[in-house]
Amino acid sequence: MNLVLSIEAVRPPLAGIGRYVWELANRLPQHQEVESLRFLSDGLWRTLPNLGETAQPVESKPRNKFDWRHQLGKNPVVSRIYGRVMPRLAAYQINRLRDTVFHGPNFFVPEVDIPTVVTIHDLSAYYPSDWHPATRIERMRQLIPQAVHRAQVVLTDSEATRQELLQEFKLAEAKVKAIPLGVDPVYHPRPMAELNDVLKTYGLQAQAYSLFVSTIEPRKNLSNLIAAYAKLPSAMRQRWPLVLVGGEGWNSQEIHQQIAQASAQNWLKYLGYVPQSHLPLLYAGARLFTYPSLYEGFGLPIAEAMASGVPVLTSNCSSMPEVAGGAALLVEPADVDGIRVQLETGLDDEAWRRAAIPKGLQRASELTWDTCVDKTLLAYKMAKSLA
């Protein structure tokens, strides 16, 4: 099988979608059925970047402020011009091929003559406008409907997102396939002695903090998490402070004010970006992983925490219960008091914690990148048979 994979998302630091594309790009050539794999970015043929140590999640390294793609998203005029030119250039390149399947792993499919597959990771652009810049919302709302109707097969990261797509765009059930993401083997339980040096770097001790890992932005619901943590007994907050790892995201000024206030009270530590090599150790050293997001297409940090042997608190909406698989405490993300109650359980209820850890490890073991890639290859075959 001959494949073309769009790799615009593969740039340091890797966000969740970038990680997904990176795994596809590196694992697909290992399949005997894949005869060739070509990479397309911005309408031009590319080689896969050799990211090496820069193959990091968005939480672990600050984005270059001069990243032209980042600036593109802020300029409506340039964004619209790019939105017109790039699909035409991509279509020109692709239409010169035959016996090939195109995969747009980030909601983009040009109008082409070969079989196509698209991945829609979430429909967050169809939710509150403060979740994304206006230019991004405009672009996603333009490209997603085009992509899901052009593609022979549509992929999602979760059944929750699959159901949203079916309802929003009235697609045939058989056309949309949910394929869960995988967990990197670097996330696993670790002995205390292995954690100490890195944790000391941040003034932390193993089993003595709660952890949150993600970009700081409204959709992640940090405002309510911080408010709920503030309602915990003072002794509990001092014993198990809340540690945040992640860079400054869209529309996060008010959240950073909350962070500064809680930090001044010595029960919250904001680490910002951390080296990729430190992140698995920060996970493994946490007493509780907290992720009461308002909406996720998957929620990979949930799986990474469970794989690290850490109990998890997350939300009862969108894909998060599906990813947690019955192993996590679930909260209503708008209910600050409810989050507080479950924080107390997650931190202090030893019986629940003893049961949650093996359940989480079992659930995380079911989420592998090899399985994700194998199922994606089946989707390519399906697209080829339908074209």
Which ranges of the chain have pLDDT less than 70?
13, 15, 52-85
Q: Look up residue 325 and give its two tokens.
A: 């698989």
- Are 276 and 57 in contact by the 8 Å Cβ rule? The answer is yes
The string of pLDDT tens digits covering residues 108-137 is 999 999 999 999 999 999 997 788 888 889
Give Cα separations from 91 to 35, 37, 50, 112, 215 (angstroms).
22, 17, 26, 6, 33
* Cα dihedral across residues 145, 299, 55, 241: positive or negative: positive
Q: How far apart are CA 229 and CA 308, in angstroms?
A: 23
Could you tell me the CATH superfamily of domain 192-365? Glycogen Phosphorylase B; (3.40.50.2000)
Q: How far apart are CA 179 and CA 367, in angstroms?
A: 10
Closest CA to 210 of 373, 339, 369, 101: 339
Write down the pLDDT at residue 133.
87
Omega prior to 13 cis, within 30 of 0: yes
Q: How far apart are CA 184 and CA 199, in angstroms?
A: 21
- Measured in Å, how far apart are the chain's first and last C-alpha atoms? 14
pTM for the predicted model, two decimal places:
0.90
- Are 204 and 240 in contact by the 8 Å Cβ rule? The answer is no
Buried b / exposed e over 238-271, threshold 16 CB at 10 Å, is eebbbbbbbbebeebeebeebbeebeeeebbbbb
Write down the pLDDT at residue 79.
60
The domain 2-181+368-386 having CATH identifier 3.40.50.2000: the answer here is: yes
**Angle (deg, nearest 10), helices 336-348 and 350-365:** 90
Instruction: Please report, for the chain, the start and end positions of each structural domain, with discontinuous segments joined by +.
Output: 2-181+368-386, 192-365
| Bridge partner residues of 102 (DSSP) | 4, 116
- Are 130 and 137 in contact by the 8 Å Cβ rule? The answer is no
Write down the pLDDT at residue 76.
66
The reply to whether 2-181+368-386 and 192-365 are identical in fold is: yes
| Bridge partner residues of 118 (DSSP) | 104, 154
Query: Hey, which bits of the chain come out as E strands?
Result: 2-6, 36-41, 44-46, 100-104, 116-119, 153-156, 176-178, 210-213, 242-245, 268-272, 288-291, 312-315, 329-331
Write down the pLDDT at residue 247.
87
Closest CA to 108 of 5, 179, 13, 19: 5
Q: How far apart are CA 314 and CA 291, in angstroms?
A: 5
